[in-house]
Amino acid sequence: MHGIRLEVESHIITASTPALKNLYAAFEKANLGINHLTVSGLAAAEAVLNRQQKESGTLVLDIGASTTNLAVLEDGEIQHIAVIPVGGMNITNDLAIGLRIDLDLADQVKLQHANLKNDRQKSWESEIKYKGEGFSFSTIEIQMIVEARLDELLDFVEKELNTIHKSRKLPGGVVIVGGTSKLIGIDTFTRDKLQLPARLGKLEKLHGLVDTVQDPTYTTAVGLMILDMLLGNAGGFNGKYDKADSSLNTITNKLLNKFKRPK
């Protein structure tokens, strides 16, 4: 055979070099090694998506404390990955400012009383005890503050989907994970905002101490462990730049084989 042109479709993910160096330093001080490097959105997808969802087209939304990671998978391959600098802490900060309370109390209000399913026409006072003192807040005020920040976050998500021409075009819908996914009604709110099916992520095909890690906060960590098992040794990446190239090449090849479309 005689070839004239060689082409490849690739998805390149970049990371801040100082951030990676800090990560290596933290592991070194903890006397821990690094086997592989991967993006957290991919790990979350591996933990909660089945093969059908990866094929049909699904958005995994991992809403963490300070950032939100999104990963779009379709035809068994990664289509798009992005990190949005908005997370659960932004909601906590907004509650602290809007309700004029300290951050610890605002976090408790968010976890215990934020409900995106509440009827705006029916308001009542939510009571909470903090350091022996009682507080009460309007449910409508809490809901309005939380909704405003989530609305901003989902606007960023919508822009990312528009970038790859997938807005309202993912049959697998949205799968929400991360600590902030515990907000009551966040799946319904996301469905209405993005006009896509939305559900909370559940760990796929995991055995053993499942109850211990079933909390959505641990989804990415579980996904990282699953990827580590799938990738195997993969050159034993040790976090040093002089040995990173060959290891990362091996990791990339194994990831492509894992997610490539079956023939």
> If residue 151 lies in a helix (H) or strand (E), which one and from where to where?
helix 139-163
- Residue 192: pLDDT over 60: yes
Tokens 């998805």 sit at which residue?
A: 11
Rg, C-alpha atoms of the chain: 21
Q: Identity (one letter) of the amino acid at 202?
A: K
DSSP 57-69: -EEEEEE-SS-EE
pLDDT higher at 262 or 35 = 35
* Mean pLDDT, residues 84-90 taken together: 94
User: What pLDDT does residue 261 have?
Assistant: 53
Is the whole model's pTM more than 0.85, yes or no? no
Burial class, 238, CB count within 10 angstroms (exposed 0-12 / middle 13-18 / buried 19+): middle
So what's the architecture of 17-87+147-259 in CATH? 2-Layer Sandwich (3.30)
Percent of the chain at pLDDT above 70?
84
Rounded mean pLDDT of the chain?
Answer: 84
- Residue 131, phi then psi, degrees to nearest 5: 55, 40
The string of pLDDT tens digits covering residues 169-188 is: 999 999 999 989 999 999 99
pLDDT of residue 205: 67
Contact 103, 92 (CB under 8 A): yes
- Mean per-residue pLDDT, 58-62: 95
Mean pLDDT of 128-143: 85
pLDDT band at 242 (very low <50, low <70, confident <90, very high): very low
**Stretch 99-115: mean pLDDT:** 91
In the block, residue with structure tokens 């933290």: 26
Q: Which CATH class is domain 88-142?
A: alpha beta
* Mean per-residue pLDDT, 241-255: 50
Q: Which residues pair with 60 in a beta bridge?
A: 71, 175
* Burial grade of 18 (CB within 10 A; 0-12, 13-18, 19 or more): exposed
| pLDDT of residue 237 exceeding 60 | no
Domain segments of the chain as ranges: 17-87+147-259, 88-142
pLDDT of the residue at 128: 84
Q: What is the pLDDT at residue 250?
A: 55
**How many whole angstroms separate alpha carbon 82 and alpha carbon 46?**
16
Expressed in angstroms, the distance from the first to the final Cα of the chain is 22
**Mean pLDDT of the 248-254 span:** 54
174-177/58-63 β-pairing: parallel
